[in-house]
Amino acid sequence: MANMLPFSSNGLEPATNGLEPAINGKEAANLHDLSEPFVDNLAGQLFLNEAFKIIVEEVLCKGTDVKQKVCEWKEPEQLALLLDLELRATGESQHRLLQRVEDVAKYSIKTSHPRFFNQLFAGVDYHALAGRFLTEALNTNLYTYEVAPVFVLMELEVLRGLRQLVGWTEGDGLFCPGGSISNMYAMNLARYQLFPEVKSQGLWGLPRLTIFTSIESHYSVKKGAAFLGIGTDNIILVKVDDGGRMIPEDLDEKIKLAKSQGAVPLLVSCTAGTTVQGAFDPLDHIADVCEKHKLWMHVDAAWGGSVLFSKQHRHLMKGVERANSVAWNPHKMLTAGLQCSALLLQDTTNLLKKCHSANATYLFQQDKFYDVNLDLGDKSIQCSRKVDCVKLWLMWKAVGSSGLAKRVDRAFVHARYLVEQMKKREGFHLLHEPEFVNVCFWFIPPSIRGKEGNKDYQDRLAKVAPVIKERMIKEGTMMVGYQPLGNKVNFFRMVVFSPLLSQKDMDFFLDEIERLGKDL
Amino acid sequence: MANMLPFSSNGLEPATNGLEPAINGKEAANLHDLSEPFVDNLAGQLFLNEAFKIIVEEVLCKGTDVKQKVCEWKEPEQLALLLDLELRATGESQHRLLQRVEDVAKYSIKTSHPRFFNQLFAGVDYHALAGRFLTEALNTNLYTYEVAPVFVLMELEVLRGLRQLVGWTEGDGLFCPGGSISNMYAMNLARYQLFPEVKSQGLWGLPRLTIFTSIESHYSVKKGAAFLGIGTDNIILVKVDDGGRMIPEDLDEKIKLAKSQGAVPLLVSCTAGTTVQGAFDPLDHIADVCEKHKLWMHVDAAWGGSVLFSKQHRHLMKGVERANSVAWNPHKMLTAGLQCSALLLQDTTNLLKKCHSANATYLFQQDKFYDVNLDLGDKSIQCSRKVDCVKLWLMWKAVGSSGLAKRVDRAFVHARYLVEQMKKREGFHLLHEPEFVNVCFWFIPPSIRGKEGNKDYQDRLAKVAPVIKERMIKEGTMMVGYQPLGNKVNFFRMVVFSPLLSQKDMDFFLDEIERLGKDL
């Protein structure tokens, strides 16, 4: 079982560790001498071993160590010089290549670092990461049972597990390259279900279709409408309440209005966990509206879907079981690793395949000796489709549904702690009480505290976050995102869910914001 | 530099190697005690080390060893039982999880094996694989310079290198999740360039658009037309010559016909390296037709693009520099690993961004302290976009353009060898002389040799490939694809390009086909 390759104690010393003659040597062989392959497996595996050690040390050990920087800021021109990116005619020594692996690690952002709060992904799960390495090494494609027997069955099982959490005992689904494309699938499926002729004839013969989503939904709804030929003008934006949740009554009004203008309402894209505020649209109420008007109900739960693991918090998505489709990205809150994005469907009529199939005979031969329903590829708009299920499956096996539930519950506890601390400190002003783990706040520097009435207050406040952000990146101490929203000027969005996070990281965060912003 | 983690000599012995208490223990901690993180980095890294050793041994050592099987066939029901895929409430021991890593490897197809000829990807490049592990560990997203400084610059450089091979000193591009989606981008860009209002208004106000592609082009053109709302009926299939190459005169005729019927011809999707026969459409002639009719010329070079590295063979793509867009998958012939698919554009007017941008303020803030043109994300239809450049960059650095050229040249030598051997053996009948590395042939079993005139000859021949395929998979000795094409009944498509390939593998292939088919 154990691998018997010699582990060199110093992978970067040239010429002494067997790495030098290596792989390139073979390729210098006569092109027409076919007796030997070009790549030498043993030399290649030696290189991989050395690279693995650098990855563990630089990315995983240092990259999760709070005594180390989150990022090593360089101006683009300077970084390009340091990395020597240019691609040349001749190859390089193994020694130089290992140095390159180290450089890439050094100047990349440590997204696993406990003080990386910049995106809706963060942290690392080592079981998931092992699953990802396994996936990369096995290098196959999820289109037929023939080339991916384990992964076809595994994807079906993982999708079944996710659907069960939604509340469906049957259904369909697929892993997609990100939540945006999952959302596009939902639009295309809704369109095909209503007008199957669209697949062959296109949109020209159809009435104008409209899509409804809240004003705080993700921008992918717009991108999808543009890409699918529906057009962004045919996205009708529904109002939200103070917490950022879609208002069902406004949805109902806007559907009626669209109908009266001759459009055919197609789909409502609800959001479970909005990108900025972390708001959950009231799914049960929206389901009533969708039922009344016979619209496809899609839930973009890319960010919030993981609350379904938690007995305590799954009420946030009450009504999700009434949806037609759900997009859920375990690469976000569950730390499965990019990319891991599931599209889940309640449909049991094989809509996914009917809508997307092209019946290519070179891949999906019908005279195979096994059940060709296991050839999943024709459900997809892709041909090559990456295997995204292994990481989630192995992590789920490792900690169980209960372990994943605990991580979700813990994230809420973290958010609550952060909110309480902010209330105790002068200068931190919450946008609202969070219902999820997005903690949105302004930092009010001493110079403008108590001056809300001043004419230039909003202008000055808007400039605070970008400066603090620049300072933290240049010092490399932490990373957090900021943005404006509607009439609210730049504020920070802190997200707390990484399994590497502890109280001291949150205390550090608050201290650091104060330190970086105190003179502004 | 070197990683000092203890390497256990036997990772699977429970309780003796420090892996048992491990990660799960932490998660049993009090939910409200925030003093410690849930995940223990050291225990996690120990697990990853053990998993890495299994991956090297089972996937890379055994998986490339010709004395080992390419696949370990199991019926789906049996495989599901063996794998115990079910996801449960509680977690499992580290020992059990490592066994699972081994099981996944054992029952998966060894696509790196020198006798895996089943798809247009095969083999392994260890530098690329190191780049993939590095990418997975760094776990970031290619949307902003802020979270992916190294990868933003690297992607730009790799795209520049690929464009240079196309013949462009300027241009644009993006890595996409597979060639199908690259092809869809081309369609959307062509549509937007001609009718920018489509982005906001959709297709309703536009005339009917048509897309032209050869009858042997990839099925993704159809999938794209359906997804983009254009409709598969608006794909006009152009005739091919005996070798499978688009006939420019027929293209010209069909464009004129479409115009006469009131449609607006939008785009010609040429193929450089068709999926089955490996044919190269005559790009220069097609470019003349596109120029004459002012159509967007797209080249789907997902499979064949890599010939551009070869001085000897790049003539196959003469005229590619006149295209508007090229899709090229280095995960195929260059063995970069799935997924690695580049969309290349000649455009210098920022069309990619104009066509796809949504200007989300939470991600693409305009008041950042660095040049926001380095935030590439708004060029994409995705939000999360996987980093696909590192593997290609590191491999390119390792062997240089000249090394990659040699691999391409070598693949042609392999194909030539195979063709010559087939001509020497009774029973092998080529469809045609290959112009690329796809060697398409029928195996004629002894029982029907010389009986071409018999009424049931074609029916009997059609049944040969599926039986041989079933036998090889069940024995696990090798894998190769078969399909019918037009009026040609089932034939094998052998592809020879893996850098692990040598003459003995091709000799084995021929012997094995004879052995498996001699009684049919």
Question: Residue B271 pLDDT > 60, yes or no?
Answer: yes
**Contact status of A47 with chain B (Cβ, < 8 Å):** yes
Instruction: Return the amino acid letter for A365.
Output: Q
Contact assignment for A38 to B393 by CB distance below 8 Å:
no
Contact assignment for A367 to B90 by CB distance below 8 Å:
no
Residue A418's pLDDT band (cuts 50, 70, 90): very high
Q: What is the dihedral of CA A395, A400, A404, A410, to 10 degrees?
A: -120
CA distance A484 to chain B (A): 7
**Contact status of B95 with chain A (Cβ, < 8 Å):** no
The whole-number average pLDDT for the span A157-169 is 98
The tokens of B445 are what? 């079993």
State pLDDT tens for residues B121-180.
999 999 999 999 999 999 999 999 999 999 999 999 999 999 999 999 999 999 999 999
State pLDDT tens for residues A183-223.
999 999 999 999 999 999 999 999 999 999 999 999 999 99
The whole-number average pLDDT for the span B224-234 is 98
Are B307 and B331 contacting, i.e. CB atoms less than 8 angstroms apart? no
Are A127 and B23 contacting, i.e. CB atoms less than 8 angstroms apart? yes
User: CA B364, CA B375: separation in Å to the nearest integer?
Assistant: 7
**Listing from the earlier edge strand, what are the strands of the sheet with A479-485?**
A116-117, A479-485, A488-495, A438-443, A428-430
Contact assignment for A200 to B233 by CB distance below 8 Å:
yes
Over its C-alpha atoms, chain B yields an Rg (Å, rounded) of 26
CB pairs under 8 A between A and B: 613
Question: Residue A10 pLDDT > 60, yes or no?
Answer: no
CA distance B319 to chain A (A): 23
**Contact status of A175 with chain B (Cβ, < 8 Å):** no
The interface residues of chain A toward chain B in range 392-451, judged by CB-CB distance below 8 A, are 393-394, 396-403, 406-407, 409-410, 413-414, 417
Q: pLDDT: is A59 or A10 the higher one? A: A59
Report pLDDT for B119.
97
Q: In chain A, which residue's Cα lies nearest the Cα of B198?
A: A231
Report pLDDT for A32.
86
Report pLDDT for B28.
53
The whole-number average pLDDT for the span B272-301 is 98
Contact assignment for A134 to B24 by CB distance below 8 Å:
no
User: CA B206, CA B276: separation in Å to the nearest integer?
Assistant: 35
Sign of CA dihedral A494, A495, A496, A498: negative
Identity of the residue in B55, B147, B485 whose CB atom sits nearest the CB atom of A109: B147
Identity of the residue in B49, B153, B493 whose CB atom sits nearest the CB atom of A85: B153
State pLDDT tens for residues B24-48.
445 556 788 899 998 899 999 999 9
pTM confidence score = 0.95
CA distance B437 to chain A (A): 15
Question: Residue A407 pLDDT > 70, yes or no?
Answer: yes
Report pLDDT for B107.
98
Q: pLDDT: is B400 or B8 the higher one? A: B400
The whole-number average pLDDT for the span A5-17 is 36
> What's the whole-number average pLDDT of chain B?
94
Question: Residue B50 pLDDT > 60, yes or no?
Answer: yes
Question: Residue A21 pLDDT > 80, yes or no?
Answer: no
| Among B126, B141, B414, B492, the residue to mutate for chain A (most A Cβ within 10 A) | B126
CA distance B46 to chain A (A): 9
Report pLDDT for B22.
40
Cβ contacts (< 8 Å) between B129 and chain A: which residues? 44, 48, 136-137
The whole-number average pLDDT for the span A266-276 is 98
Report pLDDT for B26.
53
Continuous H helices in B64-148: 76-83, 94-107, 126-138
User: CA B367, CA B379: separation in Å to the nearest integer?
Assistant: 19
Percent of the residues in chain A that have a pLDDT greater than 70, as a whole number: 94
**Contact status of B486 with chain A (Cβ, < 8 Å):** no
Q: In chain B, which residue's Cα lies nearest the Cα of A413?
A: B32
Backbone angles phi, psi at A447, to 5 degrees: -65, -25
Report pLDDT for A12.
35
**Lowest mean pLDDT segment, chosen from A2-11, A127-136, B277-286:** A2-11
Report pLDDT for A28.
53
| Residues 6+ positions from B244 with CB-CB distance below 8 Å | B214, B216, B274, B276, B277, B278, B279
Q: In chain B, which residue's Cα lies nearest the Cα of A234?
A: B201
Are A320 and A301 contacting, i.e. CB atoms less than 8 angstroms apart? yes
Burial B208-236 (b: 16+ CB within 10 A, else e): bbbbbbbebbbbbbbbbbbbbbbbbebbb
CA distance A282 to chain B (A): 23
Identity of the residue in B2, B121, B463 whose CB atom sits nearest the CB atom of A10: B2
Interface predicted TM-score of the whole assembly (ipTM), two decimals: 0.95
The whole-number average pLDDT for the span B73-86 is 97
Identity of the residue in A37, A149, A383 whose CB atom sits nearest the CB atom of B79: A149
Among residues A136, A1, A30, A23, which one has the least CA distance to residue B500? A23
Identity of the residue in B126, B218, B371 whose CB atom sits nearest the CB atom of A45: B126
Burial A4-35 (b: 16+ CB within 10 A, else e): ebeebeebbeeeebebeebbbebbeeeeeebe
Three-state SS at B175: strand
Instruction: Return the amino acid letter for A142.
Output: L
CA distance A465 to chain B (A): 10
The interface residues of chain B toward chain A in range 227-266, judged by CB-CB distance below 8 A, are 227-234
The interface residues of chain A toward chain B in range 351-370, judged by CB-CB distance below 8 A, are 355-356, 358-363, 365, 367-370
State pLDDT tens for residues A52-99.
999 999 999 999 999 999 999 999 999 999 999 999 999 999 999 999
User: CA A28, CA A44: separation in Å to the nearest integer?
Assistant: 16
Among residues A394, A476, A398, which one has the least CA distance to residue B40? A398
Contact assignment for A45 to B60 by CB distance below 8 Å:
yes
Cβ contacts (< 8 Å) between A497 and chain B: which residues? none
Cβ contacts (< 8 Å) between A402 and chain B: which residues? 89-91
Contact assignment for B219 to A360 by CB distance below 8 Å:
yes
Identity of the residue in B151, B338, B409 whose CB atom sits nearest the CB atom of A384: B338
Report pLDDT for B203.
98
**Contact status of A21 with chain B (Cβ, < 8 Å):** no
State pLDDT tens for residues A447-472.
999 999 999 999 999 999 999 999 99
Cβ contacts (< 8 Å) between A381 and chain B: which residues? 180-181, 184, 223-224, 227
**Contact status of B196 with chain A (Cβ, < 8 Å):** no
Residue A361's pLDDT band (cuts 50, 70, 90): confident
**Contact status of B208 with chain A (Cβ, < 8 Å):** yes
| Among B227, B274, B472, the residue to mutate for chain A (most A Cβ within 10 A) | B227
Contact assignment for A101 to B276 by CB distance below 8 Å:
no
Are A3 and B57 contacting, i.e. CB atoms less than 8 angstroms apart? yes
Question: Residue A14 pLDDT > 60, yes or no?
Answer: no
Contact assignment for A384 to B179 by CB distance below 8 Å:
yes
User: CA A389, CA A174: separation in Å to the nearest integer?
Assistant: 10
CA distance B498 to chain A (A): 9
Contact assignment for A147 to B24 by CB distance below 8 Å:
no
Report pLDDT for A85.
98
Question: Residue B11 pLDDT > 70, yes or no?
Answer: no
> What's the whole-number average pLDDT of chain A?
94
**Lowest mean pLDDT segment, chosen from A270-274, A423-427, B19-23, B381-385:** B19-23
The interface residues of chain A toward chain B in range 119-138, judged by CB-CB distance below 8 A, are 119, 121, 123-127, 129-130, 132-134, 136-138
Cβ contacts (< 8 Å) between A54 and chain B: which residues? 1, 3
**Contact status of B101 with chain A (Cβ, < 8 Å):** yes
State pLDDT tens for residues A225-253.
999 999 999 999 999 999 999 999 999 99
Identity of the residue in A36, A202, A410 whose CB atom sits nearest the CB atom of B203: A202
User: CA B172, CA A146: separation in Å to the nearest integer?
Assistant: 37
Residue B21's pLDDT band (cuts 50, 70, 90): very low
User: CA A3, CA A7: separation in Å to the nearest integer?
Assistant: 10
State pLDDT tens for residues A106-134.
999 999 999 999 999 999 999 999 999 99
